[in-house]
Amino acid sequence: MTSSTDIIGIRSDFPALNGTMRGKDLVYFDNGATSLKPQIVMDALDGYYREYSANIHRGVYEMSERATAAFDRARETMYRFLGVDPEKGEVIFTRGTTESINLVAYAWGMNVLGPEDEIVLTAMEHHSNIVPWQQVARRTGASLRFIPLTEEGTLEEDGITATIGPRTRLVAITGMSNVTGYVPPLKTIRREARRHGALVLLDGAQYVSHHPVDVQDLDCDFLAFSGHKLCGPTGIGGLYARRTLLEQMEPFHFGGDMIREVHLRESTWANVPEKFEAGTPNIAGAIGMAAAAEYLMNVGMESIARHERELNAYMYDALSTLDYVTLYGPVSDSERGGIFSMNLEGVHAHDVGSLLDQQGVAVRTGFHCAQPLMAHFGITGTVRASFYLYNTPDEIDLFVRALERLYGILR
């Protein structure tokens, strides 16, 4: 995949890359926020809405049966993408990572945790993996503990064992920081959590899009992910959870399609996974996300990860030559995914982003829904450049040249 021929072929699959921004060829470095979509995903969405836009699971007519079959196949695709046993029904469709974490917080945390329990987090988490647990702690009396960070924003070597203890019931941690790209030592965290009988929730919003995933190997209890970060539509994502936990958990939403029987004063629930999917689901979104997952699997997730590692090394070397750039996160590029947050000496991040926009370069500026990590670094925001499978070293060269030009202008 790393050959120029492969990249040309992949880039041709993404119509947005044929466009311009401010009259310049588009350099899309905002993949940490959302990814571009290949034509195959748009075709899948169009096919549903154009040819068989019916509701599922109830209709006995052909269009409904076709929609039901496509929706069910979408779930089977996500089983394969995540390495889930298809017999266990362990993938719940949600609106994305945020709703998936909230589902665990409400359906598990609110019902299980109490004043003697601890939830272990870190200060590098996205707000979606902090705020729900603040609410759980407030309502249940559970305590929040945070694994300490080093100056560069990685986990302290001894902090994992010092923070996870006998009162820990859940460790909720990102698989890859959306600010620095840092990939924490997940196996060490999992081992320490297991030693104390704690569950592990992995915020996979960034991780799932860029790494081969096998939940059996990850050995996590919950894995939250979003479709729009893996080349799928917005408004769709999922939650992997162990079957035994899903059977114990109460539903998060109530209504149609998640019930077995409804009587005037009581109801019973459908089996997992439908138990957690009340109402008409995002049928098109699930079909589109599955098309994206198929596309990524055809390219090869290991090939994508290898390509991004090469881009990481290239970007790190290029930025290291600019003495006015402060880069946040691990010094070693082997510990980071394709996300680089930086600031230019004496220049506001928003000014950098605005001028890059004039050069056709799309980046994200601000605090990236990670204010505790910004506070740790003693800053209010950064310029964030994030890669994906369709980005190239030539785009990095253009990005670095643009930084050099605009620094000269602003200084």
Note the residue count of the chain. Answer: 411
8 Å CB contact between 246 and 273: yes
Nearest to 124 by CA among 320, 389, 335: 335
- As beta bridge partners, residue 334 has none
User: Which one of 112, 144, 369, 379 is the catalytic residue?
Assistant: 369
State the Cα–Cα distance between residues 76 and 39, nearest whole angstrom.
21
CA angle 294, 300, 305 (to 5 degrees): 125
State the Cα–Cα distance between residues 66 and 89, nearest whole angstrom.
21
Listing DSSP states for 225-286 in one string gives EESGGGTS-TT-EEEEE-HHHHHHSPPSS-STTSEEEE-SS-EEEPPTTGGG--SS--HHHH
Q: Confirm whether 369 is a catalytic residue.
A: yes
Q: How do beta strands 364-366 and 361-362 pair? A: unpaired
State the Cα–Cα distance between residues 123 and 130, nearest whole angstrom.
9
Nearest to 160 by CA among 240, 168, 317: 168
State the Cα–Cα distance between residues 115 and 100, nearest whole angstrom.
24
8 Å CB contact between 271 and 88: no
Nearest to 336 by CA among 206, 217, 181, 137: 181
Using CB atoms within 10 Å of the CB of residue 21, give its burial: 0 to 12 exposed, 13 to 18 middle, 19+ buried: middle
Tell me which residues are annotated as active site: 369
